[in-house]
Structure 1
Amino acid sequence: MDAKRSSVWPAIADDLLRWYDAHRRDLPWRARPGEAADPYRVWLSEVMLQQTTVATVRPRFAAWIARWPDVASLAAADEAAVMAAWAGLGYYARARNLVKAARMVVANHGGAFPSSEAGLRALPGLGAYTAAAVAAIAFGERAVVVDTNVERVVARLFAIHQPLPGARPAIRAAADTITPDARAGDFAQAMMDLGSSICTVRAPRCLLCPIRGACRALAEGAPERLPTKAAKRARPTRYGTIFWLERDGAVWLVRRPEKGLLGGMRALPTGPWNYEPPALADAPAAAEWRMLETRVRHGFTHFEIDLALAVARGDAQGEGEWWPIAELDGAGLPTLFAKAVVAVRKEGVA
């Protein structure tokens, strides 16, 4: 694959931007034509979208903005409230970094985001992709923005057959050759929209693609085969027990350790997560525990978790809080523990 500039590649940006001007998605964090982008909204949306879909993020983004409309309000927010509001949006470390970055922007930059890609990278939680996206979309800086959609478009456009993730440096280098100096933010969003609506994972709609004439994968006859992915390794399974301890219409909740998975979040108590079937180890109280038939299964990046459910009535030991069962939806429990709540409500404590 020759990723050097040629007479073909500059036309790609022009064709794509014309298509974008006519077909751009109307998204709540995206500036309307002629309006300046809000760096806070761009940054927040990019972090939210890293592990979920636009459809999921739309209402969550609206609720977040209603509560913390700007970087100053987020910087002043209670971290526990932010973590609860983040429930269901992926890694909770991202929520903690949102608060840290907001506080740094207020304390060190007078409430204004750095406008350069390098300056943005210095903020907590802003990796290469997020910094490039904010720099391009919010500030118009020429930056190479490669998310999953862009990755797919570029792999097909240049017919990059090397499997992912090893192909990512080549894909980024290729994307660099077609990123224009002007309207870099619109170009990045145009590539995202193209991947979302036209150059889809399955059954790409090539006849509607504004840059199909330059697509090498289409010329080869099978664009849907790219990008290829290396075979996934099987994720190991860990086991454990979730404990539901109930008293007077409330359930005992704890805070998970700040470091580690789901750090700092409210949760139901659990025993250790090991590679052996669970037992009633590390229960939060001496009680007549009953095992439910339902098990809670959840997937993390590097392993699967298979958790038994133990329920009882009694008093708790250690640090935690009694939370009204009728108000559990407001506790901000991570998805893993929200599944446990559903199971307990179905089977009951008895």
Structure 2
Amino acid sequence: MKPFTYESADSADALAELEPGASDRYLAGGTNLVDLMKHEIEQPARLLDISRLEYNDIDQTQAGLRIGALVTNTALASDRRVRADWSVLSQALLSGATVQLRNRATTAGNLLQRTRCYYFYDTARPCNKRNPGEGCSAVGGFTRIHAIFGASDSCIATHPSDMAVAMMALDAEVITLNSAGDSRRLGLDEFYKAPGDRPDIESELRSGEWITHVELPSSPGGTQIYRKVRDRSSYAFALVSVACVLRMEGDRIADIRLALGGVAHKPWRARKAEAAMKGEVASEALFESAVNAELDMARSYGGNDFKIPLARRTLLAVLRDAESACRRSANKANDIEQGS
């Protein structure tokens, strides 16, 4: 491990005075950063410990839910409001990592974790995400875990988060702050940058800017499902995952949110599929047409060809289950109403 200095901030004002440089890194839970430092992928000159800052509350607001950047994955997954009204988020969090990691990993750190691409972690191989302009070893290499959406000739790596997939389906917004006291609000979809020819620049965060909160709008209600397909049943990253929020009015789809994980540089919002289904009468033919419209944009790279049919099957299975759950809920409500 390369030598580095360490400083701790106990308030946002103290953090602002530290004036982070380009080679400095913020440290919170450290569940990803410490590993990257051990592999000499990240070699910060200074670590700025932000784990004592005040961003560790989950607050209900008139608009929805305000989640502090330092709220642990365990605290977020177990929060009664999250489990009741934003349950897809709790499901996603509980599907990822071990209990020990969830006890340390933070909300902001989860959003900002780096890819698990084999070549990114192998410093003997070229990687544009690690060293811009060096080349992408995954293109033409072993691509089983790689992207089918949003990739470029410079990078086909995927984002590994489960939590972020659910937050994408919930229309989450990221709140940031910089040392000058300026705050920004970014939709999660716009927070992540496409790889282009600079895949090392992964988000819209600027130098000296940090995440303070993530905000969720009011609960979308309906049926919420998170399904993760992986090589083994526990503690593995998704090959394909789906976050689904479905609300029906009678036979029609009143609202549908779909996001996929394991398939792109960020959680992939399936907007073409959503647009094809919203307001329509739910049916198997509608689901198949909508899913096919989304997957028409997919591109595979040999070793991950299986991801396209896997994504299709997973999306269809989740949509069928969500529709059935909505109908059961409606029938139960009718039975209660008639009984009263």
More strand by share: 2
Instruction: With the length of structure 1 as denominator, give the TM-score of the two structures.
Output: 0.25
More helix by share: 1
Instruction: With the length of structure 2 as denominator, give the TM-score of the two structures.
Output: 0.26
Give the number of the structure whose alpha-carbon radius of gyration is greater.
1
